[in-house]
Amino acid sequence: MSLRSPLEGRGMIEGHGGLRLIDLTLARRGGLRGSGAREWLLSQGHTVPAAPNQIVASGESDSVMSLSHREFWLLQPNCGASSARPAAVAVAAGIWPLYCQHSHAWLQVAGEPRAEIMAKLCGVDLSEAAFPQGSVAQTQVARVSVIVAAHQDQDGRSVFSIFVDQSLARYLWEVISDAMKEWLG
Amino acid sequence: MTERLPLPYGSRIKRDTPVSARFDGRELPALEGDTVASALVASGQWVISRSFKYHRPRGPLTMAGHDANTLVQTRAAPNRLADELPIADYPETTAQNLSGSLMADRSAIIDWFGRFLPVGFYYRAFYRPFGVWHWWERMIRKAAGLGVANLSASPHYQDKQYLFCDVAVVGAGPAGLSAALKAAEGGASVLLVDEEPELGGSLTYHRFAIDSDAVRSEAETLIAKVASHPRIKVLTHALCNGWFTDHYLPVIQGDRLFKVRAKSCVLATGISEQHVVFRNNDLPGVVLCSALERLLNHYAVAPQGELVVLAGNDQAWMTALTAAEAGLPVAAVVDLRDAPDDAALLAEANARGMTVYMGATVYTARRDSESQSLCAVDIHHIDSQGEVGELIAQTDCAVLAMSAGFMPAYQLACQAGAKLDYDDGRAAFSLSGLPAGLFLAGSVNSMYALDAVLADGRNAARAALRCIDMTADEDESVTCAAQVNHSWPIFPHPKGREFVDFDEDLQIKDIVNATRLGYRDVQLVKRYSTVGMGPSQGRHAALPTARLVAKATERTVSETGVTTARPPVKPEALGHIAGRRFHPHRHTAIADRHAAAGAQWMPVGLWGRPAFYGEPNYKQRCVAEEVTAVRTGVGVIDVSTLGGIELRGPDAAEFMNRFYTYGFLKQPVGRTRYAVLVSEQGVVMDDGVAARLAEDRFYVTATTGGVDRVYREMLRWNAQWRLSVDITNLTAALSAINIAGPDSRAVIEALDCSIDLSADAFPYLCCREGDVAGVPACLMRVGFVGELGYELHVPSLFAAALWDAVMEAGEPWRIKPFGVEAQRLLRLEKGHIIVGQDTDGMTHPSEVGLDWAINRSKPDFVGRRSVDILAASAPIRQLVGFSLELTAPKPLEGHLVIKDGDIVGNVTSCAVSPSLNQIIGLAYAHPDTANPGDRIAIRTEGGVLVQARVEGLPFYDPQNARQAL
């Protein structure tokens, strides 16, 4: 049975200067929550951020994002989405898997004006100076809750990964594309 | 049309780019870069508009968009300021607020009857004799308003954007430039905002010194440095329209409202030049000195005819020099003082052969009847404060440039809480009491000499840097002793028409009379006379008003004060405030399939849900067909909007037991239970189905609109209880499909299901996990619609594919998708309540027959105490089922239930049941009439009372045999 992104058919939006909006919803991601989640990830060989609201590269193309002292997401853009239901049992005592593969759509904005684009939608300063690579913000964009992570994609480009409730993915795609228009020529 | 002055005059115009424009239907030659006003003056026309009350001809006063004299009508909107309206963007404009034509306005007759229309006359004139108001109202409504709104104009795109910076500098004149550069050199990110189209402010038109070359060179260097500095972001043509707490600045540029978040802020907003109050000071051709300088330097427009300069300070003499250099014939310089502060100015004027009158004023301006503009001025000696002596000269002139002094552009500072102080000795204002992080620079800070202005800008930047913990060098010592304000530039004339406020046509007597009527406070004078309420917001009227009120009430200006400044600084369009509007909307993962199947959508919170499938005109038939499909075959509905929350951990059952009313500790794995949540006040908050999937794992559903609150409450309570349970909201992660009807089991079996679906292995109210069509799924046997049914909860990314598989597998049984309308009808037939529809903010469980869902043997649950108290008190209403024949008027939800003339309840649900062939519904009734067979009176449309029969619930399949198949 095939997995379908809520943004199926939207394709990709590209503009000048490397500006790009893509849908990575079908790329793999998983999450863990619990007091021992950090140690468990370390024991599995992952690199883990030192503090909440940070993202670090782990391995060749993976990233680990911390949303609190006890909640972490593992992002694997080069892998396809897992077709299994998240394990319902604890991976270790008090450490529970999260459903972020299905709960959140994954949008990615690349290109020079990305912070300006987001400034039309978000009250948090996402400019490089205020929101450097490795930063994560759990905030509101265009009146909906999102997670924004500033990091590098596998090609070394600076990007914002934006995670939003999958039922709001189309809405967010619409507003981001609208905000991008003046750079699309 | 006059020839434009040669370079370097005309910094804003492109001489080789003519613009084809029209004003009031006439051709108006113009150049790109012109405003409508500059093009009109260049063409020899000073008259642009008619005044608000007396319909007097008016022309530009400031050439900066700071007065209402240039209000014109564009195609799209009225009340646009011609002196800031780029003619290239608005090539067609007309005059407004007139009857007839601009030069022959019939309404100008009002000017002749002005003595009968004193200030505030409308408060006292229109209500006597009784009933006359209705006659006046028609007249007033016809006369009210300026211009014509274009009701067919289509809205255009306007949006908002945040901007962040360390230091925001408002005003890009010399002080602002200096402050921005210093702050940026100190390492700060700087936002520099100015409403003019270029950097420089007064440097672009004012000479500052007799030798203007040195100033020009210094200005060019400064502007170039700022423009090229990597840490300075420049916004020109951008209006900072307010100051809000923590330096939150709304800045309007074009169609965008920037919401600026600055760590600190420097206000270099400059000053507003003040006019001299004398008879006919509003004639077209009478301008502020800065307006003439702008015409010359920005637009290369040298107005025709001779010029008289009326000076209250040395700056006006600079204007005379600038005009003379540009070739304007200067007929006279009239100084209100006995001598200029800088004697070199007098020497320079004499050297240029100008006629100079000292200690004199223009007492009357005279109007040319043809052009309706200035043609001459009467010059009198000043005998004492506001008193004139003999006529010295009557001088022909087409232009009078005046400057009585300057008022700080205090609006933003005062919005921030600054106090405007007046020094009666120096006749000057100053600002004090600024909030932390806000600093003044330049002329708004009473610095007028260019060197002092620049140094003050640097000092403000240093203060801003220190404020945000960045290092700055030592402050420079700055003083400025220049006196720029004349203490009393007001000269009453026996025949009046000495205007204090041009926007509102207010003269000296209007202000004075207001004080005589008892309005001694300047705020009351403002409200009574409307002084300062026009588009210029008191920029020019505040100071003369304060002086007049002070004199009339025998106080000083410092005691009188000025009126309060509030945002916005200048008028702004509602579209800027609205901006690009965000309306979040949620789609289930199956939304495309519904659309393809002809769904008619209905909003449920942020969600869009299919109400039914089919043509909107055949709604009832479509819904009936969907109901029939579920009752007789199989239907499928997308219930992904239902909330889903998972509780995992050793204390999951204990948490459920404390949170919901029912007992959950002994709930077997693989079973579901109805879960009711009440508030601490005992009110029904939400309901759902709790499935125990493992000893330490529950999956509980919640209503579409209630899940966020339920989840929030769960987290809140567990923060107190500190149980070992992980709570996760899976509403988005899991999608759900309800397959219902006698054939539902067969359809799922056809889907390659790994679960034994037989009634024995998977009975009613049980739950199972397994694979359906290759998709990992949690199945629950539920009976919300009263038929054999299964809810399939699957990871959302699989939902669309699963829906396709279900529709394909169900083809042999003619499976039919059904919408919310059919679902609500089906559940009504089963007598199931919907929380939020059949309950309200007062409903407790007993009222809706949910006593059975309360476990009173367990120690406690949220809301237990209140539920017990409510259950022990005498009931006042009861939710009952009722029925009516199809021929009866159908009650609507909300219709009242009446007993003995009193309201005892209301209808909460009502529909025509195709299964039962009658009208059925739920309503709150008096407990005395809540038993099956009782009658309740419902007041329907038009007040018609119908007697409905109370029925036992459920209406359909009372033995619940069908759902337990």
From B771's Cα to the closest Cα of chain A, the distance in A is 10
Q: Are residues B650 and B724 in contact, defined by beta-carbon separation less than 8 angstroms?
A: yes
pTM score of the predicted model = 0.90
Contact B726 A33 (CB under 8 A): yes
Which CATH number applies to B14-103+276-403? 3.50.50.60
From A184's Cα to the closest Cα of chain B, the distance in A is 16
Which chain A residues are closer than 8 Å to B800 by Cβ? 4, 8
pLDDT digits (tens, 9 = 90+) for A164-185: 999 999 999 999 999 999 999 7
Q: Rounded to whole angstroms, how far apart are CA atoms B836 and B627?
A: 23
Contact B797 A5 (CB under 8 A): yes
Q: Confirm or reject contact between B339 and chain A (CB < 8 A).
A: no
The residue written with tokens 């050793």 in the block is: B650
**Amino acid at site B400:** L
For the domain made up of B498-571, the CATH class stated in words is mainly alpha
B159-272+407-467, what's its fold? FAD/NAD(P)-binding domain (3.50.50)
From B700's Cα to the closest Cα of chain A, the distance in A is 14
Which chain A residues are closer than 8 Å to B773 by Cβ? 1
Could you say which residues of chain B have pLDDT below 50? none
Q: What is the pLDDT of residue B319?
A: 97
Q: Confirm or reject contact between B122 and chain A (CB < 8 A).
A: no
- In the 8-state DSSP scheme, what is residue A167? G
Q: What is the pLDDT of residue A2?
A: 85
Name the residue ranges covered by the structural domains of chain B.
14-103+276-403, 159-272+407-467, 498-571, 587-641+734-837, 643-730+839-868, 875-965
- The residues that bridge with B635 in the sheet, in sequence order, are B740, B816
Count the helix, strand and coil residues of chain B and give each as a percent rounded to the nearest 5. 25, 30, 45
Compute how many other C-beta atoms are within 10 angstroms of the C-beta atom of residue B273. 27
In chain A, which among 95-114 make CB contacts under 8 A with chain B? 96, 98-104
In chain B, which among 804-823 make CB contacts under 8 A with chain A? 805
Residue of A nearest to B798 (CA): A3
Mean pLDDT taken over chain A: 93
Count the helix, strand and coil residues of chain A and give each as a percent rounded to the nearest 5. 20, 40, 40
Contact A119 B732 (CB under 8 A): no
Q: Are residues B71 and B49 in contact, defined by beta-carbon separation less than 8 angstroms?
A: yes
Contact B775 A165 (CB under 8 A): no
Residue of A nearest to B726 (CA): A96
Which chain A residues are closer than 8 Å to B730 by Cβ? 99, 103
Name all contacts of B834-837 with Cβ < 8 Å and 24+ positions apart: B834/B703, B834/B909, B835/B684, B835/B685, B835/B686, B835/B687, B835/B703, B835/B706, B836/B703, B836/B705, B836/B706, B837/B893, B837/B908, B837/B909
Backbone φ and ψ for B250, nearest 5 degrees, come out as -80, 120
Backbone φ and ψ for B910, nearest 5 degrees, come out as -160, 140
Q: Are residues B37 and B299 in contact, defined by beta-carbon separation less than 8 angstroms?
A: no
- In the 8-state DSSP scheme, what is residue A181? G
Write down the ipTM of this complex.
Answer: 0.96
Q: What is the pLDDT of residue B1?
A: 54
Residue of B nearest to A102 (CA): B733
pLDDT digits (tens, 9 = 90+) for A69-98: 999 999 999 888 876 666 667 888 889 999
Q: Confirm or reject contact between A174 and chain B (CB < 8 A).
A: no
Q: What is the pLDDT of residue B117?
A: 81
Q: Give me the total of CB pairs closer than 8 Å, taking one residue from chain A and one from chain B.
A: 119
For the domain made up of A13-183, the CATH class stated in words is alpha beta
Compute how many other C-beta atoms are within 10 angstroms of the C-beta atom of residue B513. 18
Nearest Cα to B806, choosing from B754, B740, B755, B732?
B740
Q: Do domains B14-103+276-403 and B159-272+407-467 have the same CATH topology?
A: yes
The residue written with tokens 């309740």 in the block is: B936
Contact B582 A88 (CB under 8 A): no
Compute how many other C-beta atoms are within 10 angstroms of the C-beta atom of residue A178. 17
Residues in Cβ contact with B40 at an 8 Å cutoff, skipping those fewer than 6 apart: B23, B28, B46, B48, B82
Probe site for chain B from A33, A70, A99, A178 (most B CB atoms < 10 A): A99
Q: What is the pLDDT of residue B121?
A: 77
pLDDT digits (tens, 9 = 90+) for A55-66: 999 988 899 999
One CATH from 3.40.190.10, 3.30.530.50, 3.30.750.24, 3.30.70.1400 for B643-730+839-868: 3.30.70.1400
Q: What is the pLDDT of residue B122?
A: 74
Residue of A nearest to B772 (CA): A1
For the domain made up of B875-965, the CATH class stated in words is mainly beta
Which CATH number applies to B587-641+734-837? 3.30.1360.120
Nearest Cα to A119, choosing from A130, A127, A111, A129?
A127
User: From the centroid of its chain, how far is CA B834?
Assistant: 37
Q: What is the pLDDT of residue B332?
A: 97
Q: What is the pLDDT of residue B428?
A: 87
pLDDT digits (tens, 9 = 90+) for B525-584: 999 999 999 888 889 999 999 999 999 999 998 888 888 888 999 989 889 999 998 999
pLDDT digits (tens, 9 = 90+) for B10-68: 999 999 999 999 999 999 999 999 999 999 999 999 999 999 999 999 999 999 999 99
Q: What is the pLDDT of residue A86?
A: 65
Q: What is the pLDDT of residue A87?
A: 60
Report CA torsion sign: B26, B28, B34, B37.
negative
Q: Rounded to whole angstroms, how far apart are CA atoms B522 and B546?
A: 7
In chain B, which among 502-561 make CB contacts under 8 A with chain A? none
